[in-house]
Amino acid sequence: MFSLQLAGPITRFLAWSVDFATIMVVTSVLNTCFAILGIISVDLAYAIGIVTFFVISIGYGIFFEWYWQGQTLGKKLLRLRVMDEQALQLQFSQIVIRNLLRAVDSLPGLYLVGGLICLISKRAQRLGDFAANTIVVWNPRILEPDLDQILEGKYNSFRDYPHIEARLRQRVSPPEAQIALQALLRRDELEPNARVELFHDVASYFKNVVEFPQEATDGISDEQYVRNVVDALYRSKTNLT
Amino acid sequence: MIINLRKFINEERPHWSELETFLNKLEREPQYKLDLKQLERFHYLYQRASSDLSKLMTFSAEPHTRRYLESVVGRAYGEIHESREKPHRVAAFYWFFNTFPQTFRRHIRAFGISFTAMLIGFLLGGFIISVDPDSKYILMPFPHLQGDPSERVAHEESSDKDRIAGFKSAFSSQLMTHNTRVSIFTLALGVTWGIGTAMMLFYNGVLLGAVALDYILAGETQFLLGWLLPHGSIEIPAILLAGQAGLILAGALIGWGQKISLKMRLRKISSDLVTMIIGVALMLVWAGIIEAFFSQYHEPLLPYEIKIGFGVLELILLALFLGKSGTRKVEKQRAG
């Protein structure tokens, strides 16, 4: 019914690096504050510093993943989220377990064990995720394509056939639509011959997906054909936004 | 088939937003309960959004809306199909006197294995020291344990200075945090099908056995008991409980005699693991305080009888707590 994109070990490592840096900054700032306590008791200042570092280093992930529903600062920045493996609600116990098992995942250093297991795991899980029944998903930011640059002011003969346009939208998959769009956006980067060849291939493909009447396609180049296809696929989206 | 995408999204978006508002409320306030009307509405919105998603799935040019809708439907699915109990408000007193000891007793076999692993290590450590006393230079992790026990006892009993004056709190904090890290590691090693956990327990047993036999053979049994019992009577059981938690995890991974799936087994024990490790951490905080502020003082300042008596009392209370606390609640639940 719905699918979610799994986060890979590299993205997760980057998110962890941000979190690690945050923990270091926060504890060093707090230790500077506690140093003032040293005026009263050096012993007490050290003791509070030790406990604070421990609590923050262990509790940071647990607290934020619970408070932000599966996200820490690093995960937020990299658009990652911890989720229950079966898309059920993330339980507090799952968050605690996946964070405590970092002790093994981080062995022998820099999350080597966790990273390797994440690479070979079907659902990109480290040991902590496996034990807690969690996954980490990536929600990529979908940038609005600059359609004005390629579509504005151009007459599209396909618009006269809304029912065929609708069929086209239904039959073309999102990756196929992206290929057509990217071909248009990057057309000026191509050598002239390669450009002609590419648009010929792309147009041929779309001609097989749905067939527009001859009067709609007569006299238009392959590139224009692809342009019309992209207009038909993306037009309603631009009108909306 | 959607003919007019713009119209479709414009019509459906208010329903998605309403569903999202429900979800935000439920996620922000776990105690919040929907009434029947709200539940019906929530369910209707979920079904509608699911249906919209399946229509959009075939639509090539709406990856953004599709992903948004996937996320909303995914969250709603989690709310509707979730059958596990939602977390209650933190009832620390109830948790400490009921949940924690009950969890310990529910997994008593894992504790037995944990205890056995450490006991075997203890016996081996003692045996090695009694056969080859020089091996303590390899076995003992701390330099102050590698010397002659009698010399140490004589030195500490004759010293009129407080050896840890000025850094007692820091020492106590170091002990607490170090031991808690070791306990977490022992639990986490359960993921190695319990092999790592058993090795940790065995290793700790070897160290303990070696130290104990070294002092006993040197005729310093009273000092040993007075030094170790006040904090050890809580600290050692805490490590055993951490081992127990690791073995619970291992048991779920192996799944001997259990007919449920691995995922279900792991789900079943997850809250027990958290209960155990929080209990262990609390025990280690107590042990850390006692070790820094009590265990390090010996005769003539503190008579050994008092220290040993205190340690034995702690051990008895701990055994009673873990063995008996919360049993009435369980009996009542069974009767009711």
Q: Is the pLDDT of residue A65 over 80?
A: yes
Query: In angstroms, what separates the C-alpha of B14 from chain A's closest C-alpha?
Result: 14
> Is the model's pLDDT at B88 over the cut of 60?
no
Cβ contacts of A8 within 8 Å, gap of 6 or more = A118, A124, A138
Q: What is the pTM of this model?
A: 0.78
Residue A38 has pLDDT above 50, yes or no: yes
pLDDT value of position A16: 95
- Residue B248 phi/psi, 5-degree rounding, is -65, -45
Report which of residues B5 and B107 the model is more confident about.
Answer: B107
Q: Do B192 and A104 touch (CB under 8 A)?
A: yes
What's the pLDDT at B59?
A: 62
Is this complex's ipTM strictly greater than 0.90?
Answer: no
Average pLDDT of span B288-314: 89
Which pLDDT belongs to residue B37?
92
* DSSP H or E run through B325: none
**What is the pLDDT averaged over residues B26-44?**
84
Mutual angle of helices B108-131 and B195-217, in 10-degree steps = 40
CB pair distance less than 8 Å for B188 and A139: no
A238 pLDDT exceeds 50? no
Are A220 and A228 in contact, with CB atoms under 8 Å apart? yes
Query: Which of A69, A79, A86, A100 to mutate against chain B (most B CBs within 10 Å)?
Result: A100
Confidence grade of residue A241 (pLDDT, cut at 50, 70, 90): very low
Q: What is the mean predicted confidence (pLDDT) over B151-170? A: 81
Q: What is the pLDDT of residues B256-298, one digit of tens each?
A: 888 889 999 999 999 999 999 999 999 999 999 999 888 888 8
What confidence tier does A184 reach under pLDDT thresholds 50, 70, 90?
confident
pLDDT tier at B3 (50, 70, 90 boundaries)?
low
Q: Are A97 and B270 inside 8 Å of each other by CB?
A: yes
A177 to B61: CB separation less than 8 angstroms, yes or no: yes
Supply the pLDDT for residue B306: 94
CA distance B197 to A103: 13
The mean pLDDT value for B287-312 works out to 89
Mean pLDDT of chain A: 87
B34 pLDDT band, cuts 50/70/90, is confident
pLDDT at A140: 67
Residue range A64-71: mean pLDDT, rounded? 88
For residue A236, what pLDDT band results from cuts at 50, 70 and 90? Answer: low
Contact A21, A75 (CB under 8 A): no
pLDDT surpasses 80 at B31: no
B194's CB contacts (< 8 A; 6+ apart) are B246, B247, B249, B250, B251, B253, B254
B-chain residue closest to A101, CA distance: B188
**Higher pLDDT pick, B244 / B14:** B244
Shortest distance, CA B261 to any CA of chain A (angstroms): 12
Position A239 scores a pLDDT of 47
The residue type at A195 = R
DSSP sequence for B6-35: HHHHHHHHHHHHHHHHHHHHHHH-TT----
List CB contacts of B56: < 8 A, sequence separation 6 or more. Answer: B2, B62, B65, B66, B69
Q: Which residue has the tokens 């994109």?
A: A5
Q: What percentage of chain A has pLDDT greater than the value 90?
A: 46
pLDDT per residue as tens digits for the range B225-254: 999 999 999 999 999 999 999 999 999 999
Give the model's confidence band at B60: pLDDT under 50 very low, under 70 low, under 90 confident, else very high.
low
Nearest CA in chain B to A233: B61
Residue A68's pLDDT band (cuts 50, 70, 90)? confident
Longest distance between any two alpha carbons in chain A, whole Å = 90
Length of chain A: 241
CA-based nearest residue in chain A for residue B23: A89
Q: Residue range B72-84: average pLDDT?
A: 80
Interacting residues of B169 by C-beta distance below 8 A, sequence separation 6+: A41, A43, A44, A46, A47, B292
**For residue A35, is pLDDT > 90?**
no
pLDDT tens, residue by residue, A130-176? 999 999 988 766 555 566 666 666 678 888 888 898 888 888 887 88
Residue of A nearest to B64 (CA): A142
pLDDT of residue A148: 63
Chain A interface test: which of B27, B52, B191 (most A C-beta within 10 Å) = B191
Partner residue facing A237 (CB), from B1, B50, B62:
B62
- B86 vs A contacts (CB less than 8 Å): 89
State the average pLDDT for chain B. 88
For residue A240, the model assigns a pLDDT of 39
Q: How far apart are CA A59 and CA B331, in angstroms?
A: 36
Mean pLDDT of B46-70: 78
Beta-carbon separation of B177 and A50 below 8 A: yes
Over range B56-85, report the average pLDDT: 75
Q: How confident is the model at residue B113 (pLDDT cuts 50, 70, 90)?
A: very high
Mutation for testing the A interface, residue in B55, B270, B291 having most A CBs under 10 Å: B270
Residue A130 and residue B191: Cβ atoms within 8 Å? yes
| Beta carbons of B62 and A163 less than 8 Å apart | no
